Structure 1
């Protein structure tokens, strides 16, 4: 879907001289500037989960045992739901000060003992029961999930090709509308051409030019649902412009 486009056509040196910008910000030839985007909704085939297992026990040995016991419990849960051991990454157990908003005077800073785990779920048929089990477990913090596609690279290549095609078509229509001929592309960017766009007042909504998935991460019970991904690619292109008869 083409969200927005911005166009500037400069047909004479006088027009360039009148603009309150530096010469280095502009191409040294008359140009058409367009931006375009493509997007695609697709169901994921991979899921990733990050969790911390935490003990608040003040005794280090007891806390260590609680965290280790919790680690063995979640490992067994992961294997039960088809997660391979190679897809379970476990960091070292650490003991560190716990962040608190208000600490009464004279009271020592509380400590916690925790271990962080990252796992990849390749069978999303197991996603919902696995997440529902994690959501009710004790001593679990910092639960976060994300989705991905094993063929994401190909999808993003296709989106880039589509966005570039839309940009060229738009530029061709603009050139025809002003009685000119569209020349070769003189500059391409998969992000905003900031110096040019900002200087010319052509950059409107920077958040609408993001690349990749744009939906916010699911929270709470939504984590247990496999949700569609929105993948997008935006491009900025500068084309040379000439007279229609040349």
Structure 2
């Protein structure tokens, strides 16, 4: 079976002229491998909008500013540094509505957006429980990350490449051939090549993080493990038969 597969690979450029530009000109082995890692985050991020629907601009402005000051005090109480709180300008604009009665003007809203970074996740749950019950809060979203994510992703890539080489070595051994050098590497699926050869895409995505749906409601107050993943798509040249001992 493996020998027939190798023959199909080596002759693909000859019998598939329409896709020859996507295929290496030499006999090759195409392998895909991935690595994944579950880790607890050490950084959390929160995005919230403070909104007032008061029709009087001055009243709305005062309400938003009052909630903003309450928010700053709450963040400081839970150890969030002032430089980790980013506040956009307060804006007054028409409010988006799905259905507006005929002849009625668009309602106005006064809104300010806040983004904060929480570096002490021991404070995450009590902070989020307080945020969830705040008044005039809309568009609440949370996310998690790692301060050493670059190192983790480097380790994952090295592991994925090692798995890809081992897989290619096993294929070459089964064919009675030597594994030649790598002639193409991608951290994304080689879609054109895979489609040309009838190969399916690799299930691993590059640095996908947690594939679960974003937390909602009370779940936002919980710190969840992150899933980090990395794939490697590699083309190796097929060498000759290994030397006999």
The total of aligned residue pairs comes to 238
Q: Indicate yes or no: 2:202 matched with 1:209.
A: no
Aligned with residue 185 of structure 2, among 162, 185, 188? 188
Query: How far does residue 210 in structure 1 lie from its aligned partner after superposition?
Result: 3.9
User: What secondary structure, in the 3-state scheme, does the structure 2 residue paired with 1:166 have?
Assistant: helix
For residues 85 and 13 of structure 1, do their structure 2 counterparts lie closer, same or farther at Cα, with a shift above 3 Å needed? closer
User: What secondary structure, in the 3-state scheme, does the structure 1 residue paired with 2:170 have?
Assistant: helix
In structure 2, C-alpha distance between the alignment counterparts of 1:167 and 1:181, rounded to whole Å? 15
In structure 2, C-alpha distance between the alignment counterparts of 1:183 and 1:19, rounded to whole Å? 23
Question: Is the CA contact 1:53–1:114 (under 8 Å) kept in the aligned structure 2?
Answer: yes
Query: How far does residue 53 in structure 1 lie from its aligned partner after superposition?
Result: 0.2
- 1:141-180 CA-partner distances (Å, limit 9, x unpaired): 1100001111111000000000000000000000111111
Q: How large is the RMSD of aligned CA atoms in angstroms?
A: 1.6
Question: Is the CA contact 1:9–1:33 (under 8 Å) kept in the aligned structure 2?
Answer: no
Matches within 5 A, 1:94-243: 94-204=91-201, 208-213=204-209, 214-243=211-240
In structure 2, C-alpha distance between the alignment counterparts of 1:236 and 1:12, rounded to whole Å? 16
- 1:53-93 CA-partner distances (Å, limit 9, x unpaired): 00011111111111100100000000000000000000000
Query: How far does residue 215 in structure 1 lie from its aligned partner after superposition?
Result: 2.9
For residues 57 and 10 of structure 1, do their structure 2 counterparts lie closer, same or farther at Cα, with a shift above 3 Å needed? farther
Question: Is the CA contact 2:153–2:207 (under 8 Å) kept in the aligned structure 1?
Answer: no
Query: How far does residue 98 in structure 1 lie from its aligned partner after superposition?
Result: 1.1
Q: Indicate yes or no: 2:21 matched with 1:43.
A: no
Question: Is the CA contact 1:10–1:31 (under 8 Å) kept in the aligned structure 2?
Answer: no
Point out where structure 1 has 5 or more consecutive residues left out of the alignment.
1-7
User: What secondary structure, in the 3-state scheme, does the structure 2 residue paired with 1:145 have?
Assistant: strand
Question: TM-score, length-normalised on structure 2?
Answer: 0.92
- 1:110-158 CA-partner distances (Å, limit 9, x unpaired): 1111000000000100000000001011110110000111111100000
In structure 2, C-alpha distance between the alignment counterparts of 1:126 and 1:15, rounded to whole Å? 59
**Superposition misfits of 4+ residues, deviation over 3 angstroms:** 8-15
In structure 1, C-alpha distance between the alignment counterparts of 2:55 and 2:88, rounded to whole Å? 21
Question: Is the CA contact 2:30–2:235 (under 8 Å) kept in the aligned structure 1?
Answer: yes
Query: How far does residue 10 in structure 1 lie from its aligned partner after superposition?
Result: 4.7
Query: How far does residue 22 in structure 1 lie from its aligned partner after superposition?
Result: 2.0
User: What secondary structure, in the 3-state scheme, does the structure 1 residue paired with 2:154 have?
Assistant: helix
Query: How far does residue 218 in structure 1 lie from its aligned partner after superposition?
Result: 1.1
Question: Is the CA contact 1:44–1:147 (under 8 Å) kept in the aligned structure 2?
Answer: yes
Question: TM-score, length-normalised on structure 1?
Answer: 0.92
Query: How far does residue 99 in structure 1 lie from its aligned partner after superposition?
Result: 1.1
